[in-house]
Amino acid sequence: MPDLRLARRPPLLATSAGVRPLPAAARWILRGGPEIRAAAEGALGLAVPAAACRAAVQAESAALWLGPDEWLLIASEQRADETAAALRAALQGLKHSLVDVSHRQVALEVSGRDAPALLAAGCPLDLDAGSFPVGMCTRTMLAKAEIVLWRTRAEGFRIEVWRSFAPYVSAFLGEAARGLP
């Protein structure tokens, strides 16, 4: 079997002011009903959001609501095996879907006072803090790429993007940053 750690290396990304790649992480897409959400909470040690478009964080783990029965779970790469085992044990015997997507995605951070304006160059959402507060997350488009956008702090966003689109997204953001004062 191929070594997936090699596939998790970040792609070559354009760097620009306010945009940086984030460290590799373990990621899963979890699908299921309320009993699945509750079981995952016990395994992860954090509240898996039941409210739409919200994220929960505990230490180096996070759970992002992507749909009524779908969550993106994120953990540190160092705890990937431990987290996966805890999830498998907690979900055993329950009807669910748990798919490791660690190799599929990479994360970028967009930060600074101009972060909302930078993202607005290619994202149709209102990113004002009143409309998109800290802890809010959603699937959306950034230019021509589908992303998961998560406001992690007042002047910071995390972008989860498919690995194959990451060079495009980082180059787009770099070009958009050139237009900012």
Give the separation between CA 88 and CA 163, rounded to whole angstroms: 26
Domain count of the chain?
Answer: 1
**Domain containing residue 158: CATH number:** 3.30.1360.120
pLDDT digits (tens, 9 = 90+) for 93-123: 999 999 999 999 999 999 999 999 999 999 9
pTM score, two decimals?
Answer: 0.90
For residue 151, is it within any domain? yes
Contact 64, 27 (CB under 8 A): no
Asked if 161 and 101 touch (Cβ cutoff 8 Å), the reply is no
Is residue 11 included in any domain, yes or no? Answer: no
Q: How confident is the model at residue 11 (pLDDT cuts 50, 70, 90)?
A: low
Q: Give me the domain span that covers residue 107.
A: 18-178
- Residue 179 pLDDT grade (very low, low, confident, very high; cuts 50, 70, 90): confident
In the chain, pLDDT over 70 holds for what percent of residues? 91
Instruction: List, for residues 20-56, the tens digit of each pLDDT value.
Output: 999 999 999 999 999 999 999 999 999 999 999 999 9
